[in-house]
Structure 1
Amino acid sequence: ALVAAVAAENGLPFVVVSAGTRNHFAMDLGLDRERPDAGLDALRDGVELSLDLGLIGERTFVNNASFGAYAEVVQSPAYRDDKRGTMLRLLPEMLSGQRGPHLVVRIDDEVVIEGPQALLVSNNPYEFGGPTEPGRRARLDTGLLGVIAITVDNAEHAVELLRGSRGRGLRTLVAHEVLVESDAPRIPVGIDGEAVLMPTPVRLSIQPLALRVRVPRERPGVPRPKPPIDLALLRHQALATARLASTRHRHRDRDRK
């Protein structure tokens, strides 16, 4: 994210080499995460994309910023080696324990979420796969932040939520700007997986098409587009089906007579 911020500020193209732990940004770009060296093909035979960047305070993020229980999990020493396992182990207790600063989330000055125990704000919305595994982002150029907020009453509800039940304690929204207020002067935030302390209130926004990214022409993780519907063929099949049904109906009437 730090390099992406410099590239965006200077209008320079950015190349991703997916040599990190989970590589969500690389995954959402469709890059081959098993072959980090394949990202270098962008230098030889690449195409350029214009993508959004998230902004939290004065700092850039490419994936997400997390608050509350999410941010506390990020600070665990075990998080880097086993992100999902650490989430499943620690989140129920953190969500139900009501510990940490009280948060108030304001979304585009229209929606207010009072007291969420966990909050994830992402650079473009995730296709939701669950609280511990948000999934992937189909696009990185919508000009919108994704918001996942969790508010639960007890450990039982937290466990149900983590097992995949959306329930009333989960809200997913999109926004242009998110303001996170707190009764604490500074709160822990996980920015692209890095634990930091930030002064409150914390403002997050989106920078549409701020980053030029060069990617290889061939990217195995890009979903193949569905073929367009052949309307002429569809009409032909519908008429043929209707004619066949009509013929069968006439034969049944004749047999009855």
Structure 2
Amino acid sequence: MPHEHAKPEPMGDTDVRRRWLARAGFAAVFAAVLVLVVFAGLKTFIVLIATVGALVIGVAAIYWFLTVRGFFRWVALAFSVVIPIALLVFLIAEHLLWVVLAVIALLVLAGVFARAALGRDRADWTMPEHEVPPPKRPFVVMNPRSGGGKVEKFQLQSRAEALGVEVALLDGPGPVDVAALTRAAVERGADLLGVAGGDGTQALVAGIAAEHDLPFLVISAGTRNHFALDLGLDRDDPSTCLDALTDGVEIRVDLGSVNGRTFVNNASFGAYAEVVQSPAYRDDKTGTMLAMLPDLISGTRGPRLLARAGEVTINQPQAVLVSNGAYEMSDLAGLGRRPRIDTGALGVVAVSVSSTLQAVGLLRRTRQHGLTQYSGLEAIIEADQPEIAVGVDGEALMLATPVRCTITPQALRVRVPRHRPGVRPPKRPVDWVRLRQLAWR
């Protein structure tokens, strides 16, 4: 029998479009090199050395500004400002500024083409929705102090009560046991629990909702509203979140746990957790961080940590972030987005910086020594102290070691408005090897 060759499958319109976008990306890179060689001529290497040198020195200066004190800190700050200006003056004097700007523009264009060619599927950032009937006895906790007074600004209490919601306002005068309030509402027959407040309060009530398998309503009345961001809710107008009570759908998301305490975003250890623990942090976040970072990064302050995640062990990291779902690859601080929070896995990022070179690599968002990323079901943080500072959804806590972080897949039923801004597509790092295969496969 003669050997038959398999015929290649015909390319669809999307494949053809991506192939030409990949080719356009390489064409833009070639054009950038051509412009540099033709118009800079023999000065090409001087331009490259000056630009790369300025970048390295500038990043190193920022690192020194964060890790030292006194006179040298301000010298480093001066360098970080002077170096870019000096590079600009040099390029103008050599009549090469327009060449560099043209090259940068072409490289940016190449990146745009490359990202478009390597576009993500919608399933990468879209969580399944389920049709559900409206609740009959919703209960919502509202913190009037959160987000600079958003509860009053957007009249959330009156709007919610007009929809038949039982509202518990945390207006003091003393501390209020939110967990006790919520559990009492469940005993009275509440069939939905919600929070208008910060992520810490969201996590507390979300844990109770998951425990009783009740739907949970997020109202973006906090300061940063990271959980609301990853649910695709409107953070500018929290009153729109109430639409979920009359025209809502349900999505199931994961919940993280740190030593038995629920978190919806992340638990942080090391440098960031120590900063959050400082009494001065809430009034002066930037000043407190700058004052404490030198000792924390150098290892002269704070406990010595050991992080275990699966088969990965990280010895003496300066910072560890354990998140409910992995953050975008370019986000090392957990202040950005998670494409999905229903994947059933923790995201773990550990940073160990011991040199300026490592700091430069991390700030450039490259996978270099000093950065460990992992995705799995459990992470354990050990220390040389019986208790360590932990930032849980922005709340400062002291927890007994070892600290165990776990994930419960799709534990929380979240009620969201049918019509909402939604989650933006995550950025995929440009993989030039894959791009080349796509362009000329």
Question: Please, what TM-score do these two structures have when normalized by structure 1?
Answer: 0.79
Matched residues in 2 for 1:32 and 1:50: separation? 19
Correspondent of 2:336 among 135, 154, 157 = 135
Give the match for residue 122 of structure 1. 323
Alignment of 1:6-25 (within 5 A): 6-25=208-227
Give the match for residue 258 of structure 2. 56
Give the match for residue 99 of structure 1. 301
Highest RCO, 1 vs 2 (Cα 8 Å, sep ≥ 6):
1
Q: Would you say the 8 A contact 1:51–1:213 is kept in 2?
A: yes
Go from structure 1 to structure 2 and tell me whether the alpha carbon gap of 1:133 and 1:112 turns closer, same or farther (over 3 Å shift): closer
Counterpart amino acid of 1:12? L
Give the match for residue 270 of structure 2. 68
Go from structure 1 to structure 2 and tell me whether the alpha carbon gap of 1:86 and 1:173 turns closer, same or farther (over 3 Å shift): farther
Correspondent of 1:111 among 309, 312, 316 = 312
* Cα distance, 1:160 vs structure 2: 3.0
Matched residues in 1 for 2:287 and 2:243: separation? 34
Cα deviation digits, residues 161-189 of structure 1 (max 9, x gap): 67444432111111100111111000010
2:249 is aligned with 1:47: yes
Matched residues in 2 for 1:84 and 1:13: separation? 37
Q: How many aligned positions are there?
A: 223
Matched residues in 1 for 2:283 and 2:251: separation? 31
Q: Would you say the 8 A contact 1:21–1:80 is kept in 2?
A: no
Matched residues in 1 for 2:242 and 2:304: separation? 45
* Cα distance, 1:62 vs structure 2: 0.3
Give the match for residue 376 of structure 2. 175
Cα deviation digits, residues 101-135 of structure 1 (max 9, x gap): 11111112x11111101000000000033434542
Matched residues in 2 for 1:92 and 1:159: separation? 13
Counterpart amino acid of 1:214? R
Go from structure 1 to structure 2 and tell me whether the alpha carbon gap of 1:19 and 1:101 turns closer, same or farther (over 3 Å shift): same
Q: Would you say the 8 A contact 1:181–1:201 is kept in 2?
A: yes
Give the match for residue 81 of structure 2. none
Q: Would you say the 8 A contact 1:88–1:132 is kept in 2?
A: no
Go from structure 1 to structure 2 and tell me whether the alpha carbon gap of 1:22 and 1:134 turns closer, same or farther (over 3 Å shift): closer
2:350 is aligned with 1:149: yes
* Cα distance, 1:142 vs structure 2: 0.4
Alignment of 1:239-250 (within 5 A): none
* Cα distance, 1:147 vs structure 2: 0.5
Matched residues in 1 for 2:316 and 2:425: separation? 41
> Could you say what secondary structure the match of 1:147 adopts?
strand
Instruction: Determine which structure has more spread, i.e. the larger CA radius of gyration.
Output: 2
Give the match for residue 185 of structure 1. 386
Matched residues in 2 for 1:85 and 1:162: separation? 23
Matched residues in 2 for 1:43 and 1:203: separation? 36
Matched residues in 2 for 1:180 and 1:201: separation? 6
* Cα distance, 1:81 vs structure 2: 6.6
Cα deviation digits, residues 129-155 of structure 1 (max 9, x gap): 34345420000100000001000114x
* Cα distance, 1:91 vs structure 2: 3.9
Matched residues in 2 for 1:174 and 1:101: separation? 24
Give the match for residue 160 of structure 1. 360
Structure 1 runs of 4+ aligned residues shifted over 4 Å read 77-90
Higher strand share: 1
Matched residues in 2 for 1:203 and 1:13: separation? 27
Give the match for residue 29 of structure 1. 231
Correspondent of 2:402 among 194, 197, 201 = 201
CA RMSD of aligned residues (A): 2.4
Q: Would you say the 8 A contact 1:12–1:212 is kept in 2?
A: yes
Counterpart amino acid of 2:376? A
Instruction: Structure 2: state its 5+ residue gaps.
Output: 1-202, 427-441
Go from structure 1 to structure 2 and tell me whether the alpha carbon gap of 1:123 and 1:68 turns closer, same or farther (over 3 Å shift): same
Counterpart amino acid of 2:319? A
Higher helix share: 2
Counterpart amino acid of 1:115? Q
